[in-house]
Structure 1
């Protein structure tokens, strides 16, 4: 059951996946004993290669940023009228987006990724689910239920389209809107490529907005290793296609395992699945006893979200279920 007040209170509901330290404190084990299914990060990460000593020792030069941006423009089919800003993770941009307009009302349909509401609230905005607003945030596909939005939903003077999980379904992308005044599209590198620790993300939008974001983030915001790895990965379209097929197959396999135990699939993407269960806390505790960490939500006693296990984790998950 979802509590409306809790959903609109970013301070009460600012929870995330991960948090294995807390899981270990309650259920024991070492970090290496655990399988973390709470985050929706690809368990088969892109294989890093080709790093140079200069990537670590020198400040990143302009050419490295340009090469990464050029690769991103091709990979995501970015319209010519839009600019691209690499950033140290999508969350770094999320924290700065509310500064792009005078504080007012922001429309954020709940439930969704809670950092957007927290960021806008921290800078004096008021969060609403409906009604006219000076800004709107749409997470596309939505986290946690996988909802897909349409062009008409990008309807506020400042519109943020968070496509952190859209690389699994590129045909649904709203990137074609990125050149419009007031529109910013966010991309996350860590989830689809499985390299969340690299801290790399992108803001793509109208040149005026991107120039202001660039002023807020400052120079050398992205590390040399992240620039090189990101450029290499974005050029590797064969890996991306193979990964989409594997993720889709693994998501189907996960659904079969979990629904066989009485859960009901209610949404998600091929990187995470959202199930409705009788008691989400009981399910999480049962999995935790087998050192498998899952995601539950403060606004629902029945929502359980699971990411995909690594290749050697399927048998453990099946036994725990």
Structure 2
């Protein structure tokens, strides 16, 4: 497997390198992060001055259990971002056969391969064969493909018969019609949930694993003490319990996704797809459009494995929408 650099969204240094004459400020549409963030609460200085409280950490995990439908807060493990969990999990197994349903978020394969596991990308769950571990991103990044809960439970059941595990990355499940496994958690399943994408606070660095008690404790030991900062704990538990905000954000971002689809559709070879927080277009002119938007100071996500694909995050403020619409109007 190639050790080439994995392309990620959010790299405005790369945008400025490729398009040095582009107007500032850049509009970054290369991530799948809510562009209208949760309002930051007042954070007292003591949160920065003291070590994080164990009681606060437990309350954060309880808030996450409530938000994600987990039946027991003991099954929820808070971490400094889902990416940390993706990187950590492969170190907790001896060399195994890992099947990853793809194409998908490249860091999964990178992490398992880097830890010495035998990794195969599969195009459907039927291709898992005798894998010890199956990794599924649900809904998938970048195309939004979703597997129903029954299908995932079937996979988990087959794996359990031979001591295998299922890892389900639900990073974008909050704003999707996704049947999470959190409320019906089999003992050999690990569910990953992202905080920063839904709440527009990626810099807080907060994510969760939901898994059976025994493995949850193993994860906590691997993460070590004070794995989540005091400010992140405070922001996280307040936001996770604010169900009214999340409902309103879901409605507003769904409207934004429809508006973006209407803008992308005339330039796409098939209907845009993805999730509410990002839309994927497929076009034979994708490289031209990427360069055109870059010259207009608009950074979007392209993909190493398919140059026909471009992913657009939501523009957020109205002035960003207007700049994007003007840029598309001048594309010919």
Q: TM-score, normalised by structure 2?
A: 0.90
**CA pair 319-81 structure 1, distance change in 2 beyond 3 A:** closer
Q: Of the candidates 62, 77, 81, which is equivalent to residue 70 of structure 1?
A: 62
Q: Is the 8 A contact 1:265 1:273 kept in 2?
A: no
Which 4+ runs in 1 deviate beyond 4 A?
A: 29-32
Cα RMSD, aligned residues only? 1.7
Q: Please state whether the residue corresponding to 2:139 is helix, strand or coil.
A: coil
Deviates more, 1:162-171 or 1:269-278: 162-171
1:38-97 CA-partner distances (Å, limit 9, x unpaired)? 111100000101211111000011111111111111111102386111100000011111
Q: Is the 8 A contact 2:165 2:188 kept in 1?
A: yes
Task: Report what 1:43 is aligned to.
Answer: 35
Match runs of 1:219-234 below 5 Å: 219-234=225-240
Distance 1:137 1:158 in 2: 9
Q: TM-score, normalised by structure 1?
A: 0.93
Q: Please state whether the residue corresponding to 2:199 is helix, strand or coil.
A: coil
Using the TM superposition, give the Cα deviation of residue 104 of structure 1 relative to its aligned residue in structure 2, in angstroms. 1.4
Is 1:89 aligned to residue 95 of structure 2?
Answer: no
Distance 1:24 1:264 in 2: 30
Using the TM superposition, give the Cα deviation of residue 32 of structure 1 relative to its aligned residue in structure 2, in angstroms. 5.3
Q: Of the candidates 224, 249, 273, which is equivalent to residue 218 of structure 1?
A: 224
Q: Of the candidates 19, 25, 37, which is equivalent to residue 27 of structure 1?
A: 19
Using the TM superposition, give the Cα deviation of residue 262 of structure 1 relative to its aligned residue in structure 2, in angstroms. 4.1
**CA pair 135-317 structure 1, distance change in 2 beyond 3 A:** same
Q: Please state whether the residue corresponding to 2:198 is helix, strand or coil.
A: coil
Q: Of the candidates 162, 173, 186, which is equivalent to residue 166 of structure 1?
A: 173
* Structure 2: gaps (5+ residues): none
Match runs of 1:149-298 below 5 Å: 149-151=147-149, 152-153=151-152, 154-155=155-156, 156=159, 157-169=164-176, 172-178=179-185, 180-298=186-304
Q: Is the 8 A contact 2:75 2:212 kept in 1?
A: yes
**CA pair 33-226 structure 1, distance change in 2 beyond 3 A:** same
Using the TM superposition, give the Cα deviation of residue 286 of structure 1 relative to its aligned residue in structure 2, in angstroms. 0.6
* Structure 1: gaps (5+ residues): 1-8
Task: Report what 1:314 is aligned to.
Answer: 321
Using the TM superposition, give the Cα deviation of residue 258 of structure 1 relative to its aligned residue in structure 2, in angstroms. 1.1
Deviates more, 1:207-216 or 1:39-48: 207-216
**CA pair 229-313 structure 1, distance change in 2 beyond 3 A:** same
1:195-215 CA-partner distances (Å, limit 9, x unpaired)? 001100001111111111111
Q: Please state whether the residue corresponding to 1:192 is helix, strand or coil.
A: helix
